Structure 1
Amino acid sequence: MTAVATQQPATAVIDDAARQLRRTLGCYPTGVTVVTTRAPDGRPVGLTVNSFASLSLEPPLLLWSLANRSPNLRAFRSASHFAINVLAHGQHELAMRFANPALPDKFEGVALHEEAKEAAALAPLIRGSLAWFVCAGRDAIETGDHTLFIGRIVQHAAQQGTPLVFHAGAFARLEEA
């Protein structure tokens, strides 16, 4: 096993170290989510995130992080609620759509839940997601080059299926052991 130092004095070396760190982090498979909220003007905002994790069952808390350079940071910092939409295998295109910062309307043509009207009014819920969590924002902690968002789960739902997984820089399929 090779250890990699993350502090390097030269920019080129830092870039190489950052690439190596990213490859090392990529050894850990993650689920793929689209985190959504509503901007102060009611406009839906969303982005693809794989930094989602359960934090606590009592109280029910979860967390995710967003790069401080993201154009969506202000919307999430000012929102009272956000939703985590856990993508199902086969929703690769949705993941790529919401990962594209240049796309002007990421929600165009995306089917949203209408049944959970109260929850959907707080944050858009993507139809076909394997699961969704609506959270009241609790903490936004700036740390390193990201802001860590912690939310209290106020509503959630799940369906059976296979999650969309990201591993080693690519989408992967979860296989039974």
Structure 2
Amino acid sequence: MKNLFTSHKEELKDLLRYGVLKAEVLENPGLYNGRLGMTILFYEYSRYCDDPLYEQFADEIMDSVLELPNDLSLNFSNGLSGIGWGMAYLLKKGFIEGNMDEILSDIDQKLNKSDLKESDKGYSTYLNMREGKTDNENEILKNIWESCLYHSFLNNLKINI
């Protein structure tokens, strides 16, 4: 994600200010365009600029992500498989601490009871992250950046002009 921060250096502060405001009102807990995606962005930025304020903000958002609604979809972009991927990512990168099996047990149970199969791309992407396979990690992080922050910010600018 460092390359995204450096390539958008000019507008980065505006993007992050917008992200702080957006994160406060987001209802979607998901990975793309949701609270977990914003959490990942703020944890990554905190590490990038060595600013604990962004880490504290990410911690606050993270607390609300853990309160998952019962009717949450299973898909990758806004549902359980994406949230599972994001939680596994945060654990593997050391942004949050804990036992992965314990933290992801509810998600695992719901996904295992579902009709999703390993052939489902989102489910298999989640399983791969659990197993430490990070083949498409950069692509997912770029999608988080674009869906949670960058395109949303640009669309908001167009609306307000």
Question: How would you bin the TM-score normalised by the shorter chain?
Answer: under 0.3
What TM-score comes out, normalization by structure 1 length?
0.24
Q: Which has the higher strand share?
A: 1
Q: Which has the higher helix share?
A: 2
**Which one has the largest radius of gyration?**
1
What TM-score comes out, normalization by structure 2 length?
0.26
